[in-house]
A and B are shown apart, each in its own frame.
Chain A
């Protein structure tokens, strides 16, 4: 075969030779296209597999770990949830509205494929500085509108997330979407059991949109021609997705579904090969039966089209008619493509001619595995010895104002008011707090959900940065009244073929693994996004941790906002004056990014979580201290409630360290004045430093050494993002 052809499809010479060796012949064009998507980085995890295997994935409450559509966690006896995060970075840069919308659609189908009703979405978004160039506001507006348009229409609330701005994401925005589902009737698996069973494709028609969309875009770097790939981005149809959700759940309730999988990257190639490989069976499908959107599609296009809103199910022959009827009542196209075989092969025919006949395992499981060279990059020592931005500011008040107005800190209301965050009557704590708290319908249980990452910390030390991200996500969940239980992660990195990037990746995996082991929060799955580079410049290594916690009683939910005047404010945890490396203060006040990230003691972190749990009956509010330190945490608590506050942070620390250092394992909580002593006693028992620092009340954010009126601070905080975006959109 002509070398330029397989290279154009993204396969290397060695990979092509491996395919020929496995088949014992040259692949047909259709087969080659199938291998190219199934063996792509995006689908095969060929560069990450050896590292991912080292993460902790087991726990008593983990029913399904990595490798299926989503992790499954038992949050209470008989109550199982599906939890997964996925990236749609590359498509969202090329076409922000559709890229983000289909990112939502894709993760929702992953959850659905497990037999779970999707009930909550969270987004972790990263862009360049909002006013750095003309394209960034367009990207921000497009991505937020895409999420809003799709999520609102399918009726799944978007309950939280994060939005971060950093120059390294200007030409490589990150769009990571997490989804939670509740298993309604029974758990589904992507397995094609039972030769003779029928294979049904249902949902949208199959078109030329997204031929090699996600798999091609996400498996190479960007350059000046990337925007020409716009036609490779799929277009979403949320109306069909909503019908797909309802029809799928009805099919499952009716007991008709033997095996179930969504179609995402890789198109029809993916569920046919993966479901057969998992069950040790084969599958024979006729491409003549695929409902096409346009005439004249080539067999390879039909096999790898990434048209959205499609699912594949395996049903017993006697149930096929009923299954097709249910789809029809929901207005969905459904066709029987063929059947499960015992050959171990995926066979596809068109007009009676075999166009593909390959071992299912070769496509699904036997992709290349690379242990890519890894080396600490040369620039690393330079960054570590650069100033950490810990110097005292000229003016504390000015520093406070600058931090509250910094886009990364300021209110994201502009975005989350565009999302339906209330549907399903489960949102007890919505966007703008530490974690979202969601009551699970039909149960007495609630879960807390948080997505967190910190690219700056990971740049300065990928191992420590990853541990910090896990700790912060868990702390957010603990501050919401929940016990951290399980993690899903989205790993966003540059080009894995560069040893420096691979070193960052390996270090991050080691950090996540250690932190998840220490906090007893196993990793249940996730997604790797490599090649986040444009013109040779990589993003900061950015693992995003999706933490799930459980609240046995939804009434125990806590929010970050103060509840009333006259409450005591208690600081939990100690502040270290050295924790400025990678901080928001260092960036905003000194323009510095250097030194070491804050030091984390995971045992202290866990003691804080246990204290928050034990002290729950005393607490009126709780808020984790992260970007901007205690000062920003207290200000946010005031914005979330009806009152200002007065505190004295004192101690031996310099004022700016007490206010702005980003020492982990800290939280600010409020309680009745009369409960301060028992709370402090509890903290001593749990070995957590704690002190009363002041009280709520008044109309000022009064830190003693500096102050600002609540009204002015709120106005800075609320107007920053809209102001940065206005005029440019």
Chain B
């Protein structure tokens, strides 16, 4: 049976259709979940897609963390289910305390939409099992607030535990330690600024995003 992928839509989310199409093309079974719902349908994977939840007018992700669905998302992760937050979804997960640290405005104070190269620092996670250690993935970024920050102790802990999963080869936004993607201590929740859904088709310039999504689908059933 195909892995069921719940895609959370906040008002202002705008990458939900793209995530849906990318997961479906790779054999997942996507289903939309409205942010105002309080329970998740029967899903293996939860995706918090990119966009501007609630307009990002206060601070990115600061309002979305209070959306009714977030308790269920947290419970899903606590029960061992997979959660991935992409871009705005990563920001929401940080605001919700499901991942450490915060995303600040880019160094240079400009929005950046461009292709970047990412190095897979840990290939033995449920999000990167299809990658080789040290593999370089070409995936685009698209954000104003992608400049990752956390305190030194947290950084040390994450490094020691292999929780820095993706690093930028050339840092585009000032992120601490070139961090592009991290996971939580139990390895169930993954946040990253780049958009894998935009790199799942050769015609669009790269299929490297599929490495991440296929890893997630491979491991979805065993983990849930």
The smallest C-beta distance from B66 to any residue of chain A, in angstroms, reads 15
Contact with A along B159-194 (1 / 0, CB 8 A): 000000000000000000000000000000000000
Asked whether any CB of chain A lies closer than 8 Å to the CB of B67, the reply is: no
In the bound assembly, the distance between CA atoms of A417 and B195 in angstroms comes to: 15
Chain A residues whose C-beta falls within 8 Å of the C-beta of B12 in the assembled complex = 153, 239, 242-243
In the bound assembly, the distance between CA atoms of A215 and B133 in angstroms comes to: 60
With A155-B14, A423-B18 already in contact, the answer to whether A555 and B203 are too (CB < 8 A) is yes
Say yes or no: A425 contacts B21, CB within 8 Å.
yes
Residue of B with least CB distance to A331: B11
Say yes or no: A554 contacts B203, CB within 8 Å.
yes
Chain B residues whose C-beta falls within 8 Å of the C-beta of A243 in the assembled complex = 11-12
Task: Indicate which residue in A419, A423, A427 contacts B15 across the interface (CB closer than 8 Å).
Answer: A423
The smallest C-beta distance from B37 to any residue of chain A, in angstroms, reads 12
Asked whether any CB of chain A lies closer than 8 Å to the CB of B113, the reply is: yes
Chain B residues whose C-beta falls within 8 Å of the C-beta of A154 in the assembled complex = 14
The smallest C-beta distance from A539 to any residue of chain B, in angstroms, reads 29
One of B50-58, B76-84, B118-126 contacting the partner: B50-58
Say yes or no: A422 contacts B52, CB within 8 Å.
no
13 A–B contacts from the bound complex (CB under 8 Å): A152-B142, A153-B55, A153-B56, A155-B15, A155-B51, A239-B52, A239-B55, A417-B110, A417-B114, A418-B112, A422-B198, A423-B18, A425-B22
Asked whether any CB of chain A lies closer than 8 Å to the CB of B1, the reply is: no
The smallest C-beta distance from A199 to any residue of chain B, in angstroms, reads 26
Chain A residues whose C-beta falls within 8 Å of the C-beta of B55 in the assembled complex = 153, 237-240
In the complex, chain B residues 1-55 whose Cβ is within 8 Å of any chain A Cβ: 11-12, 14-15, 17-18, 21-22, 51-52, 54-55
Contact with B along A341-372 (1 / 0, CB 8 A): 00000000000000000000000000000000
With A155-B51, A239-B52 already in contact, the answer to whether A425 and B111 are too (CB < 8 A) is no
Contact with A along B68-100 (1 / 0, CB 8 A): 000000000000000000000000000000000
In the bound assembly, the distance between CA atoms of A425 and B16 in angstroms comes to: 11
Say yes or no: B111 contacts A148, CB within 8 Å.
yes
The smallest C-beta distance from B48 to any residue of chain A, in angstroms, reads 15
In the bound assembly, the distance between CA atoms of A154 and B14 in angstroms comes to: 7
In the bound assembly, the distance between CA atoms of A555 and B201 in angstroms comes to: 12
Chain A residues whose C-beta falls within 8 Å of the C-beta of B201 in the assembled complex = 425
Chain A residues whose C-beta falls within 8 Å of the C-beta of B195 in the assembled complex = 422
The 8 residue pairs across chains A and B that have the minimum distance between CB atoms:
A155-B14, A239-B55, A153-B52, A418-B111, A420-B113, A148-B111, A422-B198, A425-B18
In the complex, chain A residues 127-157 whose Cβ is within 8 Å of any chain B Cβ: 148-149, 152-155
Say yes or no: B112 contacts A417, CB within 8 Å.
yes
Task: Indicate which residue in B57, B113, B197, B203 contacts A417 across the interface (CB closer than 8 Å).
Answer: B113
Asked whether any CB of chain A lies closer than 8 Å to the CB of B146, the reply is: no
Chain B residues whose C-beta falls within 8 Å of the C-beta of A239 in the assembled complex = 11-12, 52, 54-57
In the bound assembly, the distance between CA atoms of A418 and B55 in angstroms comes to: 18
The smallest C-beta distance from B113 to any residue of chain A, in angstroms, reads 5
Say yes or no: B22 contacts A423, CB within 8 Å.
no
Highest count of chain A CB atoms <10 Å: which of B52, B111, B113, B144? B113
The smallest C-beta distance from A98 to any residue of chain B, in angstroms, reads 15
Report whether over half of chain B's contact residues are helix, strand or loop; otherwise say mixed. mixed
Say yes or no: B14 contacts A242, CB within 8 Å.
yes
Say yes or no: A425 contacts B14, CB within 8 Å.
no
In the bound assembly, the distance between CA atoms of A237 and B111 in angstroms comes to: 18
In the bound assembly, the distance between CA atoms of A155 and B12 in angstroms comes to: 9
The smallest C-beta distance from A660 to any residue of chain B, in angstroms, reads 31
Asked whether any CB of chain A lies closer than 8 Å to the CB of B222, the reply is: no
In the bound assembly, the distance between CA atoms of A421 and B140 in angstroms comes to: 11
Q: Report the count of interface residues on B (CB-CB < 8 A).
A: 28
Residue of B with least CB distance to A149: B111
Say yes or no: B198 contacts A242, CB within 8 Å.
no
Chain B residues whose C-beta falls within 8 Å of the C-beta of A618 in the assembled complex = none
Chain B residues whose C-beta falls within 8 Å of the C-beta of A423 in the assembled complex = 14-15, 18, 142, 198
In the bound assembly, the distance between CA atoms of A331 and B63 in angstroms comes to: 15
Chain A residues whose C-beta falls within 8 Å of the C-beta of B110 in the assembled complex = 417-418
Other A-B contacts than A239-B11, A240-B55, 9 sampled, CB-CB below 8 A, are A149-B111, A153-B14, A155-B15, A155-B52, A239-B56, A239-B57, A331-B11, A423-B142, A554-B203
Chain B residues whose C-beta falls within 8 Å of the C-beta of A422 in the assembled complex = 113, 140, 142, 195, 198, 204
The smallest C-beta distance from B88 to any residue of chain A, in angstroms, reads 11
The smallest C-beta distance from B106 to any residue of chain A, in angstroms, reads 10
In the bound assembly, the distance between CA atoms of A412 and B56 in angstroms comes to: 27
Contact with B along A409-435 (1 / 0, CB 8 A): 000000011111111110110000000
Chain B residues whose C-beta falls within 8 Å of the C-beta of A153 in the assembled complex = 12, 14, 52, 55-56
Asked whether any CB of chain B lies closer than 8 Å to the CB of A330, the reply is: yes
Chain A residues whose C-beta falls within 8 Å of the C-beta of B113 in the assembled complex = 152, 416-422
The smallest C-beta distance from B199 to any residue of chain A, in angstroms, reads 9
Chain A residues whose C-beta falls within 8 Å of the C-beta of B56 in the assembled complex = 153, 239
Residue of B with least CB distance to A424: B18
Chain A residues whose C-beta falls within 8 Å of the C-beta of B51 in the assembled complex = 155
In the bound assembly, the distance between CA atoms of A441 and B201 in angstroms comes to: 14
In the complex, chain A residues 549-568 whose Cβ is within 8 Å of any chain B Cβ: 554-555
Contact with B along A26-47 (1 / 0, CB 8 A): 0000000000000000000000
Contact with B along A392-416 (1 / 0, CB 8 A): 0000000000000000000000001
Say yes or no: B52 contacts A242, CB within 8 Å.
yes
In the bound assembly, the distance between CA atoms of A570 and B14 in angstroms comes to: 43
Residue of A with least CB distance to B22: A425
Chain B residues whose C-beta falls within 8 Å of the C-beta of A425 in the assembled complex = 18, 21-22, 197-198, 201, 204
Chain B residues whose C-beta falls within 8 Å of the C-beta of A419 in the assembled complex = 111, 113
With A153-B56, A422-B113 already in contact, the answer to whether A427 and B204 are too (CB < 8 A) is yes
Chain B residues whose C-beta falls within 8 Å of the C-beta of A439 in the assembled complex = 203
Residue of B with least CB distance to A426: B204
In the complex, chain A residues 630-662 whose Cβ is within 8 Å of any chain B Cβ: none
In the bound assembly, the distance between CA atoms of A441 and B22 in angstroms comes to: 13
Contact with B along A225-262 (1 / 0, CB 8 A): 00000000000011110110000000000000000000
The smallest C-beta distance from B80 to any residue of chain A, in angstroms, reads 31
In the bound assembly, the distance between CA atoms of A444 and B110 in angstroms comes to: 35
In the bound assembly, the distance between CA atoms of A416 and B112 in angstroms comes to: 9
In the bound assembly, the distance between CA atoms of A418 and B195 in angstroms comes to: 16
Say yes or no: B52 contacts A238, CB within 8 Å.
yes
Highest count of chain B CB atoms <10 Å: which of A152, A153, A242, A422? A422
The smallest C-beta distance from B8 to any residue of chain A, in angstroms, reads 15
